[in-house]
């Protein structure tokens, strides 16, 4: 006897799925009967959809029912999870998820992608691959970033006592050394989702009180943020950050409406550190990829007094770390 779930499972598993390589070959077929879309962007989108479908299928087939708390049953024919099970665990419709695995031209929200990533137990690299294939931006990159390699973390540590961190173009602080963690505030005490320079300079009083020229700095970073955002106007993560800043800071709203734009540049900065006092530091960006990608931010002392105070700050950070 075959149950209804098993009949549905067999039907969906042998449906109208098209293999990625077949789709690519058909899209590249020459001659008057070629199925290649007239618009190269449409062709790329078609390939992406088939790659996404194949990736989801592969990951689903390699997750066992036991891994997600489901009974295996005695008549299971599907390797791994059934489509219905993935849909249920991800809180999406079965038909909709089936279409996704059949490479249909449908829109996928970042919330659904996040749910699928959790259901399919994707690691950080697989999660990033999922969002890239879907043409979406992961709204939580601060906690998941393939850019931060063990070698980069070691580099940050070797730069001590100089403060250094790694930021993306949205000013999320992705990693930092111990000196940077005590430079403007006790960064370890800040939740990961709030470790963003835009958020900190507009809402964190400890961070704000450490900046000597606060008004000028807020205006400058807002102008730099606007320049960076020009290439990400439709990205959900950028839109979510902008919405948060507008909701939580009247000061940000005021400077944002000025529509000022400034590019990245090295600059001498002044900080009043709560542990060692006034610091005069030269800010430098070391790009880790394209100019609009992640960068290592370093602060070098501009004078001997600042150097000595950085060494003292580093000793405090090590002691309290």
The pTM of the full predicted model, rounded to 2 decimals, is 0.62
**What pLDDT does residue 153 have?**
93
Residue with tokens 């939740």: 191
Q: Which residue would you say has higher pLDDT here, 154 or 262? A: 154
**What pLDDT does residue 239 have?**
86
CA 16 and chain centroid, separation: 33
Going by pLDDT thresholds of 50, 70 and 90, the confidence category of residue 38 is low
Among 102-111, 118-127, 198-207, top mean pLDDT goes to 198-207
Lowest mean pLDDT among 205-209, 286-290, 291-295: 291-295
Lowest mean pLDDT among 10-24, 126-140, 239-253, 294-308: 10-24
SS (H, E, C) 45-100: HHHHHHHHHHHHHHHHHCCCHHHHCCCCCCCCCCCCCCHHHHHHHHCCCHHHHHHH
For 261, half-sphere exposure in the C-beta direction (CA atoms, 13 angstrom radius) is: 5
CB 299 within 8 A of CB 269: yes
Residue 16 has pLDDT above 80, yes or no: no
Residue 102 has pLDDT above 50, yes or no: yes
Residue 27 has pLDDT above 70, yes or no: no
Contacts of 270 (CB under 8 A, 6+ apart): 211, 212, 213, 278, 279, 280, 281
CA distance 186 to 184: 7
Contacts of 194 (CB under 8 A, 6+ apart): 200, 203, 204
Residue 275 has pLDDT above 90, yes or no: yes
How many CB atoms lie under 10 A from the CB of residue 27? 17
**What pLDDT does residue 309 have?**
98
Q: Which residue would you say has higher pLDDT here, 5 or 85? A: 85
Q: What is the mean pLDDT of the chain?
A: 83
267-273 β-sheet, strand order? 173-176, 164-167, 295-301, 277-287, 267-273
How many CB atoms lie under 10 A from the CB of residue 65? 16
Residue with tokens 């020229």: 213
Going by pLDDT thresholds of 50, 70 and 90, the confidence category of residue 13 is very low
CB 235 within 8 A of CB 132: no
Tens digit of each residue's pLDDT (9 = 90 or more) over 64-84 = 888 888 887 777 777 788 899
**Which residue, 109, 101, 99, is CA-closest to 80?**
101
CB 211 within 8 A of CB 201: yes
Tens digit of each residue's pLDDT (9 = 90 or more) over 191-224 = 988 999 999 999 999 999 999 999 999 999 999 9
Q: What are phi and psi of 314, to 5 degrees?
A: -65, -40
């Amino acid at each position: 006897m075959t149950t209804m779930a098993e009949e549905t499972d067999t039907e969906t598993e042998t449906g109208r799925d098209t293999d990625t390589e077949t789709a690519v070959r058909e899209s590249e077929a020459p001659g008057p009967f070629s199925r290649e879309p007239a618009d190269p962007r449409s062709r790329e989108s078609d390939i992406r959809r088939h790659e996404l479908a194949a990736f989801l299928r592969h990951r689903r087939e390699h997750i066992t029912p036991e891994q997600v708390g489901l009974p295996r049953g005695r008549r299971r024919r599907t390797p791994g999870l059934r489509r219905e099970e993935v849909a249920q665990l991800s809180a999406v419709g079965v038909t909709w998820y089936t279409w996704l695995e059949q490479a249909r031209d449908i829109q996928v929200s970042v919330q659904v992608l996040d749910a699928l990533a959790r259901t399919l137990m994707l690691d950080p690299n697989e999660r990033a691959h999922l969002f890239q294939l879907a043409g979406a931006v992961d709204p939580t990159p601060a906690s998941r970033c393939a850019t931060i390699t063990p070698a980069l973390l070691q580099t940050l540590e070797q730069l001590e006592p100089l403060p250094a961190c790694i930021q993306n173009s949205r000013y999320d602080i992705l990693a930092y050394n111990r000196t940077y963690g005590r430079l403007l505030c006790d960064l370890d005490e800040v939740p990961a989702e709030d470790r963003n320079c835009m958020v900190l300079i507009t809402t964190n009083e400890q961070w704000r009180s450490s900046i000597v020229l606060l008004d000028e700095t807020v205006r400058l970073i807002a102008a730099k943020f606007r320049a960076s955002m020009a290439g990400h106007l439709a990205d959900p993560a950028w839109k979510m950050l902008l919405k948060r800043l507008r909701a939580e800071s009247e000061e940000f709203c005021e400077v944002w409406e000025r529509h000022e734009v400034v590019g990245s540049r090295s600059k001498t900065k002044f900080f009043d550190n709560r542990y060692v006092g006034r610091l005069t530091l030269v800010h430098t960006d070391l790009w880790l990829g394209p100019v609009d990608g992640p960068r290592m931010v370093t602060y070098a002392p501009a004078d001997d007094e600042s150097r000595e105070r950085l060494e003292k700050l580093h000793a405090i950070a090590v002691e309290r770390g």
